[in-house]
């Protein structure tokens, strides 16, 4: 999002900001879940997830009476200050976005950015989520990858469409199956308090279709609010014409949730020659190790030579080194953690200065000269999904 775009810069804002930021953003008043409790089992439910019948009859999904609906603000708070009397209630950010908005003018002026331009950041967000299930799909502390794109008010819908397409392409580019991806357009009653139009990217998890990213047309809501609350002018002065408050198109992806989706999408159990093979078919750009260096056996100097090769490859690629157990078992071990390539240093390597490289996906094995290994890996990663998926 930053390196491959000429008009987007990276940023890292504060987690704790002045509480007025969250009043201006609308989070103090609007960032709430309405919850009800099963009066018998004490189980909690989000009111909007109950069926019409359950709401009318005031019954939980277990068939028991429900408590009165209560509002829960999702922001965590803490206090800033040395004494109880003088301390101020502050919030842990529930999204990274607001840190960008309040710094909009600093970044625009110091980086001499002209509209349209974006500010992106990856960072922790915190929400006092009351319901958990499905592993890391929803957690209290999670990582977001957000980008705020500032545009002329007459161009907001055009850029909203543009970013929708680019963000969908991102998931395809990291190797996610197209059949498991779709858009979910928000109906007017689903829109968040800041959104003029919104669309989610949905992924088909083993537990059903769910959101992985929100793309929002936030209009000029945020900068207008922050201008009013901070009494600072956050408008933009173009080279020609009147100044105006820019509109914001936001792409808001969950990094933690993307990790879960990548694992779900890559996990396979295949049958090969009558036995099961567990494989994590990760895109090589995402795999923890790009290549594993495996001496055929420990003895006769093979392990030492292979180690030398590992140490030189490690300067450029993330490499694993494994000498224990049979070569077949070591291949399977690497398949399970998604290593796309395995390199075996064998007895022939001592005389022909070549190694065998095995591909995780096709199980194809090729003899490659040692001085050509770097080129082989780099070509493999670059063309992955084009030639050899
Ligand atoms: N700035 C807009 C915003 O935060 P959101 O739809 O509330 O929008 C964006 O959150 C993304 O953050 C979601 O699509 C999801 O991937 C991730 N996310 C939100 N809450 C989460 C949680 N409790 N645990 C893990 N990821 C979460």
User: Averaged over 302-311, what is the pLDDT?
Assistant: 97
Angle at 17 between CA 110 and CA 228, to 5 degrees: 75
The number of C-alpha atoms within 13 Å of 322 and in the hemisphere containing its C-beta is 20
If one compares 307 and 83, the residue with the highest pLDDT of the two is 307
What's the pLDDT score for residue 257? 97
DSSP 80-142: ESSSTTT-EEEEB-S-SHHHHHHTHHHHHHHTT--SSEEEEEEEEEE---S---TTTTS-SEE
Ligand 1, atom 19, residue with closest C-alpha? 254
Report the C-alpha gap between 264 and 300 in whole angstroms: 41
What's the pLDDT score for residue 49? 87
User: Averaged over 69-97, what is the pLDDT?
Assistant: 92
pLDDT at 321 over 80: yes
Chain segment 91-104, per-residue pLDDT in tens? 999 999 999 999 99
pLDDT at 133 over 90: no
Is 310 close to ligand 1, i.e. is its CB under 6 Å away?
no
- How far is the centre of ligand 1, averaged over its atoms, from the C-alpha of 215 (Å)? 11
Whole-number CA gyration radius for the chain:
26
pLDDT at 386 over 80: no
Atom from ligand 1 closest to the CA of residue 254: 16
What's the pLDDT score for residue 51? 92
Report the C-alpha gap between 322 and 296 in whole angstroms: 10
User: Averaged over 217-226, what is the pLDDT?
Assistant: 97
Q: Tell how strand 197-205 and strand 70-73 pair up.
A: unpaired
Q: 66: pLDDT confidence band, cut at 50, 70 and 90?
A: very high
Is 43 close to ligand 1, i.e. is its CB under 6 Å away?
no
Query: Across the chain, what does the average pLDDT equal?
Result: 95
Percentage above 90 pLDDT, the chain: 90
pLDDT at 389 over 60: no
Residue 276: how many CB atoms within 10 A of its CB? 9
- The sign of the dihedral angle between the CA atoms of 354, 355, 360, 364 is positive
pLDDT at 387 over 50: no
What's the pLDDT score for residue 86? 82
Closest listed residue to residue 306, CA positions, set 286, 330, 282: 330
Best mutation site among 91, 142, 209 for ligand 1 pocket (most ligand atoms within 8 Å of CB): 142
CB burial of 75-114 (b: ≥16 within 10 Å; e: otherwise) equals beeeeeeeeeeeeeebbbbbbbbbbbbbbbbebbeeeebe
Token code pair at residue 328 = 């077949």
Report the C-alpha gap between 104 and 109 in whole angstroms: 9
Is 25 close to ligand 1, i.e. is its CB under 6 Å away?
no
If one compares 231 and 46, the residue with the highest pLDDT of the two is 231
Is 155 close to ligand 1, i.e. is its CB under 6 Å away?
no
**Structural domains of the chain in order of their starting residue, each with its CATH number:** 8-31+74-263 (3.30.930.10), 289-383 (3.40.50.800)
Chain segment 163-195, per-residue pLDDT in tens? 999 999 999 999 999 999 999 999 998 888 889
Q: Which of 26-35, 317-326, 334-343 bottoms out in mean pLDDT, i.e. has the lowest?
A: 26-35
Q: pTM here?
A: 0.91
What's the pLDDT score for residue 265? 97
Task: Assign 284 to helix, strand or coil.
Answer: coil
Q: 115: pLDDT confidence band, cut at 50, 70 and 90?
A: very high
- How far is the centre of ligand 1, averaged over its atoms, from the C-alpha of 94 (Å)? 9
pLDDT at 72 over 70: yes
What's the pLDDT score for residue 355? 98
What's the pLDDT score for residue 193? 83
Atom from ligand 1 closest to the CA of residue 139: 24
Query: Measured in Å, how far apart are the chain's first and last C-alpha atoms?
Result: 24
User: Averaged over 374-385, what is the pLDDT?
Assistant: 95
What's the pLDDT score for residue 213? 98
Percentage above 70 pLDDT, the chain: 99
């Amino acid at each position: 999002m930053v390196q491959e775009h000429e008009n987007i810069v990276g940023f890292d804002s504060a987690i704790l900001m002045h509480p007025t930021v969250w009043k201006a953003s609308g989070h103090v008043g609007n960032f709430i879940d309405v919850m009800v409790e099963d009066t018998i089992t004490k189980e909690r439910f989000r009111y909007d997830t109950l069926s019409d019948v359950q709401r009318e009859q005031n019954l939980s999904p277990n068939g028991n009476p429900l408590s009165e609906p209560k509002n829960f603000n999702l922001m965590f708070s803490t206090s800033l200050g040395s004494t109880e009397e003088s301390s101020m209630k502050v919030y842990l950010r529930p999204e990274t976005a607001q840190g960008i908005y309040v710094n909009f003018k600093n970044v625009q002026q110091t980086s001499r950015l002209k509209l349209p331009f974006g500010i992106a950041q990856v960072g922790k967000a915190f929400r006092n989520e009351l319901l958990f299930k499905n592993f890391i799909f929803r957690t209290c502390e999670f990582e977001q990858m957000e980008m705020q794109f500032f545009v002329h008010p007459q161009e907001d819908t055009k850029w909203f469409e543009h970013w929708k397409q680019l963000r969908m392409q991102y998931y395809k580019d990291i190797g996610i199956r197209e059949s498991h991806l779709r858009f979910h357009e928000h109906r007017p009653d689903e829109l968040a308090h800041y959104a003029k139009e919104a669309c989610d990217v949905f992924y088909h998890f083993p537990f059903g279709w769910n959101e992985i990213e929100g793309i929002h047309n936030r209009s000029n809501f945020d900068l207008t609010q922050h201008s009013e609350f901070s009494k600072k002018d956050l408008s933009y002065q173009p080279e020609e014409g009147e100044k105006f408050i820019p509109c914001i198109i936001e792409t808001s992806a969950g990094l933690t949730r993307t990790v879960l989706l990548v694992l779900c999408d890559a996990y396979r159990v295949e049958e090969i020659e009558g036995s099961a093979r567990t494989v994590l078919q990760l895109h090589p750009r995402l795999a923890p190790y790009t290549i594993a260096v495996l001496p055929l056996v420990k003895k006769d100097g093979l392990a030492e030579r292979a180690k030398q090769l590992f140490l030189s490859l490690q300067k450029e690629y993330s490499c694993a080194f494994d000498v224990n157990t049979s070569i077949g078992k070591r291949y399977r071990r690497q398949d399970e953690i998604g290593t796309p390539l395995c390199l075996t240093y064998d007895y022939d390597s001592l005389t022909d200065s070549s190694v065998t490289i095995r591909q995780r996906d096709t199980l194809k094995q090729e003899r490659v000269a040692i001085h050509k290994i770097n080129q082989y890996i780099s070509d493999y990663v670059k063309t992955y999904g084009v030639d050899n998926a």
